[in-house]
């Protein structure tokens, strides 16, 4: 494999890792607060449809982004209502919302545009277009580092850079702010948080809200940056890969970034089976590359690659003692 092919692979990796990373960080907030969320997939899908539809109608990618966040927040609110207010089963709620999103996105897109459940193709300002970072053109001729900067680092949409900036931000919020401390506490021992006079319900709703916003950005990125418009089931299990990455990263933000980059790299490899064959000298079936993130996550869960310990109060509704 030559240097140019490697750069191409890394460039694709960054683009494919971005929705995973956004969804993974979204899940991180929710699960750290003790609310399991297997509905990341559904929220992303709803956001992708809303973003694709609104961007097509208004011609503005930013309006699409807002609509995506809004749609994702509605789903997050239902999840919060079911799992926090009515103390329902968080896993079942997530499953239900995934189905709801899978069906309703097609229904709405079909009712709006009559194009078989797709939204019209986007172009120009209706998409988040690549941004050329300062100095990329000038440094392009510098050996080794120049092409790396020009091909891989520069030339992505603004949402990609935002996603990677949210990683240190999340780290700082979780471990260096009062809100973050309380958020982690409510996922480990909500009774203690309640005793300290802080609202468990309020904190959990805040966490679920942040999850909604980030899933919204992830979905909008899918429809208005990675691709040009919404198509049915376009998230294709990315919400579950993000969930896998979250476990792989043991619920830590920086590790989550590396996990998403790794899984994004697998996705990039699955697009280039010829490169894989040239490197390992054996024909590797593409389905095997597709399944690698899931297989790795099972190995992590099995405890063969370190032990993944979820937040202690995860999945349990909090009942105040009377």
Partner 1 sequence: MDRLPKWADVALVPLISLVMAAIISALVLLAIGQSPTEAFKVMVDGALGSAYGWGYTLYYATSFIFTGLAVTMAFHAGLFNIGGEGQAQLGGLGVALVCLSLPWPHWTVALIAATAGAALFGAAWAAIPAYLQAKRGSHIVITTIMFNYIAAALLVYLLVDVLRPAGQMDPASARFPEGAKLPALNDIPGFNLIFQKAVPANVTLFIALGMAVVVWAILWRTRLGYQIRAFGKSEPAAKYAGINPVRITVIAMLLSGGLAGMMSINNVMGEAERLLQNSSEGAGFIGIAVALMGRNHPLGVVLAAVLFGFLYQGGAELGLWTSIPIEMRIVVQGLVILFTGALDMMVRMMLTRAFGMFRSVQATQPDKGAA
- Of 33, 55, 73, 106, which lies in the binding site for partner 1, with binding defined by CB under 8 A? 106
162 touching partner 1, by CB under 8 A: no
Q: How far apart are CA 131 and CA 225, in angstroms?
A: 11
Q: Are 266 and 292 in contact (CB under 8 A)?
A: yes
Binding status of residue 179 toward partner 1 by CB under 8 A: no
**CA 231 – CA 73 distance, rounded (Å):** 21
3-class secondary-structure state, position 156: strand
Per CB under 8 A, does 295 bind partner 1? yes
311 binds partner 1 (CB under 8 A): no
Scanning 34-118, the segments in alpha helix (DSSP H) are 40-58, 61-80, 90-113
The stretch among 78-86, 138-146, 204-212, 216-224 that binds partner 1 (CB under 8 A) is 78-86
For every residue of 171-238, DSSP letters joined together read HHHHHHSHHHHHHHHHHH-HHHHHHTT--HHHHHHHHHHHHHHHHHHHHHHIIIIISSS--TTTTTTH
Binders in 2-41 for partner 1, by CB under 8 A: 38
Closest of 253, 200, 229, 279 to residue 35, by C-alpha: 200
Closer by beta carbon to partner 1, 213 or else 289: 289
Nearer to partner 1, 56 or 242 (CB): 242
Distances (CA, A) of 88 to 84, 108, 119, 172, 318: 7, 28, 34, 31, 11
Using CB under 8 A as the binding rule, whether residue 89 contacts partner 1 is answered as yes
The count of residues interacting with partner 1 (CB under 8 A) is: 49
Residue among 90, 92, 66, 91 nearest 80 (CA) = 90
Binding of residue 119 to partner 1 (CB under 8 A)? no
3-state secondary structure of 273: helix
Of the ranges 45-53, 57-65, 98-106, 216-224, which one interacts with partner 1 (CB under 8 A)?
98-106
Is the Cβ of residue 88 or residue 147 nearer to partner 1 in the bound state?
A: 88
Residue 78: partners with Cβ closer than 8 Å, 6 or more residues away:
93, 97
From 84-92, 157-165, 173-181, 209-217, give the range in contact with partner 1 by CB under 8 A: 84-92
The reply to whether 305 sits near partner 1 by the rule CB under 8 A is: no
Q: Which residues of 234-252 are buried (b: 16+ CB within 10 A; e: fewer)?
A: bbeebbbbbbbbbbbbebb
Q: Please report how close the Cβ of residue 55 comes to partner 1 at its closest, in angstroms.
A: 20
Check residue 297 for interaction with partner 1 (CB under 8 A): yes
Query: Is residue 301 close enough to count as binding partner 1 by CB under 8 A?
Result: yes
CB of 221 to partner 1, least distance (A): 22
Q: Which stretch binds partner 1 (CB under 8 A): 3-11, 89-97, 174-182, 186-194?
A: 89-97
User: For residues 254-293, which are near partner 1 according to CB under 8 A?
Assistant: 285, 287-288, 290-291
Q: Note whether 235 binds partner 1 by CB under 8 A.
A: no
CA proximity to 225, closest of 28, 18, 6, 25: 18
By the rule CB under 8 A, 83 interacts with partner 1: yes
CA neighbor of 318 nearest in space, from 133, 155, 165, 192: 192
Binding residue (CB under 8 A) for partner 1 from 1, 3, 4, 86: 86
Nearer to partner 1, 98 or 157 (CB): 98
State the CB neighbour count (10 A cutoff) for residue 312. 11
Residues that bind partner 1 (CB under 8 A): 38, 78, 81-83, 86-93, 95-104, 106-108, 110-111, 117, 232, 237, 240, 243-244, 247, 285, 287-288, 290-291, 294-295, 297-298, 301-303, 308, 310
């Amino acid at each position: 494999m030559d240097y140019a092919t490697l750069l191409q692979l890394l460039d694709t990796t960054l683009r494919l890792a971005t929705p995973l990373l956004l969804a993974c960080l979204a899940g991180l907030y929710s699960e750290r607060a003790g609310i399991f969320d297997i509905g990341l997939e559904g929220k992303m899908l709803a956001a992708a449809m809303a973003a694709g539809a609104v961007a097509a109608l208004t011609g503005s990618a930013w309006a699409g982004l807002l609509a995506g966040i809004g749609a994702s927040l509605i789903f997050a609110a239902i999840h919060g209502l079911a799992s926090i207010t009515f103390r329902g089963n968080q896993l079942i709620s997530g499953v239900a919302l995934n189905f709801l999103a899978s069906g309703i996105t097609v229904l709405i897109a079909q009712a709006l545009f009559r194009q078989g459940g797709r939204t019209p193709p986007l172009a120009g300002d209706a998409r988040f277009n690549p941004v050329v970072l300062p100095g990329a053109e000038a440094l392009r001729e510098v050996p080794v580092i120049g092409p790396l900067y020009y091909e891989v680092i520069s030339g992505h949409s603004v949402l990609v850079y935002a996603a990677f900036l949210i990683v240190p931000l999340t780290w700082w919020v979780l471990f260096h702010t009062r809100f973050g401390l309380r958020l982690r506490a409510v996922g480990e021992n909500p009774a203690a948080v309640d005793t300290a006079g802080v609202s468990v319900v309020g904190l959990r709703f805040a966490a679920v809200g942040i999850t909604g916003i980030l899933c919204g950005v992830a979905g909008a990125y899918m429809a208005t940056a990675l691709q040009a418009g919404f198509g049915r089931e376009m998230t294709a299990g990315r919400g579950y890969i993000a969930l896998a990455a979250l476990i792989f990263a043991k619920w830590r933000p920086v590790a989550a970034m590396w996990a998403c980059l790794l899984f994004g790299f697998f996705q990039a490899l699955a697009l280039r089976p010829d490169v894989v064959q040239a490197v390992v000298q054996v024909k590797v079936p593409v389905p095997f590359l597709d399944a690698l993130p899931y297989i790795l996550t099972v190995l992590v869960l099995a405890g063969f690659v370190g032990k993944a310990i979820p937040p202690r109060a995860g999945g349990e509704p909090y009942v105040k003692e009377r």
